[in-house]
């Protein structure tokens, strides 16, 4: 059974056992609701099946979905298992990686869904008493994404409803918290003002460090031109090393992923 204290390796090992059993029973689960899907009048339509693994005793929620009438013979099947954390229920979510053709596993913490409720559902008047927050998230954000990690194994992942922040630990992507789009815009605004200030510092630094001939070239290139006069003055290797030795680091912001980092 999944526990909040389990190591990433133990979670992945246990999840693989269960997903193998679920895939072997895939046709059985589909046939449980095939008739309702064949005679459905409105689409999309979906059904949720509760299944407890006899191997690990994990509780799995299996969703059979059909987006339109033409896809009744090609149904979407996805599934997740809930587990308890000190901040509420979290989930283990297997996703098929089409690039590597294997399953990868994500862990969503209870804190993540708490932030999803308070930062997206409540402000947008989507939350109702007794609402299944996890099911709503899965139905509206279950795209096949593969978080890209940085050197410290942290990742920022774009979702339909906002931005997820997390960390990859030994093959398990842990989604730790959720940021709404309006919060992202505020961060972007702060970083923009910060970047302007850093650019001023960088200009001062360049003007102080560059040789006189290159200072003139740099300033002319900034005033109404894409590039400065040709040919550009040449810098020696010692000049370049001295110039870059203590250069201020400018914060960069990537709108597609909402990631903030310092330039190299």
Q: In the prediction, which pLDDT does 175 show? A: 93
- Within a domain: 255: no
The string of pLDDT tens digits covering residues 69-85 is 888 888 888 899 999 88
Residue 21, domain member (yes or no):
yes
C-alpha distances in Å from residue 204, one per residue of 68, 193, 246, 263: 60, 17, 12, 18
Q: Tell me the pLDDT tens digit for each residue of 194-218.
A: 555 655 665 566 556 555 555 554 5
Beta strands in 151-215 (DSSP E): 154-158, 162-169, 172-180
- On whether residue 91 sits in a domain, the answer given is yes
Task: Supply the pLDDT for residue 222.
Answer: 42
Which pair of tokens denotes residue 65?
């979905």
Classify 169 as helix, strand or coil: strand
Q: Is residue 128 part of a domain?
A: yes
Residue 158 β-bridge partners: 163
On the question of pLDDT at 146 being above 50, the answer is yes
Contact 199, 190 (CB under 8 A): no
- Domain of 174 in residue numbering reads as 8-185
* Domain contains 130: yes
Is residue 244 domain-resident?
no
Would residue 250 count as lying in a domain? no
pLDDT-derived band at 133, boundaries 50, 70, 90: very high
Q: Which pLDDT score, from 0 to 100, does residue 98 have? A: 61
Residue 183 has pLDDT above 50, yes or no: yes
Number of domains in the chain: 1
What per-residue confidence (pLDDT) applies to 214?
52
- Please tell me which residue, 264 or 129, carries the higher pLDDT value: 129
Residue 77, CA distances (Å) to 66, 127, 192 in order: 9, 26, 43
Percent of the chain with pLDDT over 90: 38
Is the whole-model pTM more than 0.85?
Answer: no
Assess if residue 233 is contained within a domain.
no
For the ranges 88-97, 216-225, 234-243, which has the lowest average pLDDT?
Answer: 216-225
Model confidence at 230, pLDDT cuts 50, 70, 90, reads very low
Give residue-wise pLDDT tens across range 8-67: 999 999 999 999 999 999 999 999 999 999 999 898 899 999 999 999 999 999 999 998
Average pLDDT of the chain, as a whole number: 77
């Amino acid at each position: 059974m999944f526990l909040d204290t389990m190591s990433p390796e133990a979670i992945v090992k246990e999840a693989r056992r269960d997903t193998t059993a679920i895939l072997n029973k895939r046709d059985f689960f589909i046939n449980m609701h095939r008739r309702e899907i064949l005679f459905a009048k409105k689409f999309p339509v979906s059904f949720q099946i509760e299944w407890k693994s006899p191997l690990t005793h994990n509780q799995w929620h299996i969703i059979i979905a059909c987006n339109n009438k033409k896809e009744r013979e090609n149904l979407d099947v996805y599934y997740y298992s809930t587990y308890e954390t000190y901040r509420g229920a979290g989930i283990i979510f297997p996703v098929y990686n089409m690039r590597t053709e294997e399953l990868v596993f994500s862990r969503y913490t209870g804190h993540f869904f708490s932030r999803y409720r308070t930062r997206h559902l409540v402000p947008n008047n989507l939350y109702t008493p007794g609402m299944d927050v996890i099911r709503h998230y899965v139905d509206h954000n279950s795209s096949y994404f593969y978080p890209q990690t940085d050197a410290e194994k942290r990742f920022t992942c774009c979702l339909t409803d906002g931005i997820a922040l997390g960390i990859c630990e030994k093959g398990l992507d842990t989604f730790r918290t959720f940021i709404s789009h309006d919060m992202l815009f505020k961060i972007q605004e702060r970083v923009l003002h910060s970047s302007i200030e850093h650019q001023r510092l960088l200009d001062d630094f360049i003007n102080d460090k560059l040789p006189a001939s290159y200072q003139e070239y740099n300033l002319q290139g900034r005033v109404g031109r894409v590039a400065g006069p040709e040919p550009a003055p040449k810098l020696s290797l010692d000049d370049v090393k001295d110039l870059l030795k203590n250069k201020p680091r400018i914060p960069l912001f990537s709108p597609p992923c909402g990631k903030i980092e310092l330039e190299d």
